[in-house]
Every structure is written in structure tokens, then in C-alpha cells.
Structure 1
Amino acid sequence: MIQLSEKVLCSIGLVLGLVILLGYGLVSYAAEDVIVNATTSGGRIVFQDDASHGVYLLGRAWADFGSNATLSNATPSLETGTGRSVFLVACENDRRNEPGGTRTAAFTLTVWDPAGVSHSTTREFGGICSETLSVDCSPSKPGEGRFEITSTIRERRLNLPAVFDR
């Protein structure tokens, strides 16, 4: 039986640890998010002085990992008052990630007030979800704004050729 000294064992351990650390760094550097599918829909919001403000459901966003499908359905147009309004989107992801899966469903709601200032929120999920996104918007002047609802499926993938091309 071969006996190794403590120094040799320590050196082997250090080299092995360095190789693992470098491998992890290379894999982390080579991983990238790829958009598998994305759908965006939107509409307009008319902010008026003489209308009351409130809470509005703007539409629905949906994702399905099994079919790589996304959907964003939006109300084409609505009217509300100036002051604080809350805008909502119902979001769903109907399927689980496969075991060890790296897919993410991302839902974004963005509302632009009449001055062109954006108010946005994004939520990401790795599995089945049923959530409501909300954005507050408080324009002080009347005018026309707009909104967008985006549903995206992203997947984390290794791109080793990109590492060597950099």
C-alpha cells in the first residue's frame, strides 16, 4: 500500500479545490438567460380631471413551461381620474419546471402616466403560480398614458463557445 505524506495530501486537496473553483467559475461565466418565448400586449389609459380614480384590472398574463407558450391579454383602453389609481394584472403559470429545470416565467406590468413617467413591477416564478401584479400611478395632470403587459419564459443555458470567443 502506498502511503502519502501530509504535504502531498494537502497539495492534492488544494489542486482539486482550485480545479473545482475554476470549473464553477467557468460554468457561471458561460451561463446565459435565453428568452424562449415572450408576448406583450398593451393599451391606453386616459386620465381625466372629472373622473373618479380606483382599482382597474388591465388584463391577464400566462405562461406554460410544457409548451413554451406565453400569452398577454390586455384591455384596449380605459378611463380613470387623476390622483392615485391602482392597476392590476392576473398572472398564471400552469406547469411545474421539470426536475432540475432552469426555466423562469417572468411577468411585467408597466404603466406610463401622461408625463411619460413609467411605473413598473416584475415578478419571476420557477414553477406553478397564480399571482396579481399591481402598480400605483398618481398623475396630477390629465392626459393620455399607456400600459404594457409582458409574459416571458426564460431558460438558463450554458454557452461554452461564447466563453472562448470573448
Structure 2
Amino acid sequence: MSGKLSCSIILVLGFAGLLLAHGIACAEEDVIVNTTTSSGKIIFQENTSHGVHTLARASADFGTDMVFSNSISSIETGTGRSVFTATWRNNQKNEFGSAKTAVFTLTVWDPTGLPHTAARETGRVNSGTLSVSCFPLEPGEGRFEFTSTIREKRLSLSAMFDR
């Protein structure tokens, strides 16, 4: 075989491989396998001390595709700087060939409705704490949500051919 023919064959095969890889990447869908949200209210008051408050806990289990979450229903804190936390844990690693991720999101709305958010995405066994600072100057009622979601990237043949 001549050098030019070999080079042409390699280029064509490489180009075909790139097209196939792009087609597969475009055909992936991000599917929500399971999600749960726990929430509550936060009462910001004058003449009450502010500080650090744990609001919720959550865990995800890739083996059962389950997410668990619990939270307090309400909390009182002072105006000024308060820190709100939520703990999370991912209990099980991905199975071979799986593309699951756990996403944990803590959002705190101050009395004016301004959201303060922290999030963490993980695909392996680990744990941590999300922390959100809030500094309302006026008293009032706020709220919080702690959402736990398992997502998975899946190949979708219909998505590949619809493009």
C-alpha cells in the first residue's frame, strides 16, 4: 500500500470516529432518576441572637436510586449575619458503566425574597456540608429548601436521530 493511500484511510477512519463520538455525545440525555425536597421557614427577628443553624440532612444511594431528606420545619434567628447549613452524604459508588451523579442544593430566601444558594455535585462516595450566609437587615419571614437529586446520563437513540 502506498503512503498516500494509508494516510487517506487513516484520515477517513479518524473523521468517522470523530463524527460517531460527537453523535453519541449529542445523544446523551441527562435524566432525573429521583429527587426530593425538604423545606421550612426562617423567622428573622430583632433582639434575637444570630449564628450558625443546621437546617437539613440528605443522602443519596446509587444502588437503590433513592434519595432521602429531612429538615426542621421552622427556625428563629436574629437579623444580621446568620449562617445556614445542610449536610449531605452519597452512600454508594457508581456501578461499572454508570454515569450517575448526586446533586445537593441548599437555597435560603431572606425576608426580601432574595435567594442565597450553595450546591454540590458528586459521583462518588463522600459527604460534606453546604453553607449559606444571609445578612438581612430587617426582620421578617424567609424560607429554605434543600433538594437532593440523582441524575444519570443515558444514551438516547431518538435524540441522536432527531438532530
Note whether the superposition's TM-score is higher than 0.5: yes
Q: Partner residue of 2:86?
A: 89
Name structure 2 gaps, 5 residues minimum.
none
| Partner amino acid, structure 2, of 1:7 | K
Deviations 1:4-53 (A, max 9, x none): 10110110011011011101110111111100000001000000111111
CA distance in 2, matches of 1:163, 1:12: 26
Structure 2 length as normaliser, TM-score? 0.97
Name structure 1 gaps, 5 residues minimum.
none
Q: Are residue 37 (structure 1) and residue 4 (structure 2) matched? A: no
CA distance in 2, matches of 1:165, 1:19: 20
Q: Partner residue of 1:144?
A: 141
Q: Partner residue of 2:120?
A: 123
Match of 1:160 among 147, 157, 160: 157
TM-superposed CA distance for 1:100, in Å, is 2.6
Match of 1:106 among 89, 99, 103: 103
Matches within 5 A, 1:7-18: 7-18=4-15
Aligned-CA RMSD value? 0.8
TM-superposed CA distance for 1:156, in Å, is 0.5
Q: Secondary structure at the match of 2:95?
A: coil
CA distance in 1, matches of 2:3, 2:47: 83
CA distance in 1, matches of 2:116, 2:45: 18
Q: Secondary structure at the match of 2:63?
A: coil
- Identity fraction in percent: 58
| Partner amino acid, structure 2, of 1:165 | D
| Structure 1 outlier segments of 4+, above 2 Å | none
For these two proteins, the number of residue pairs brought into alignment is: 163
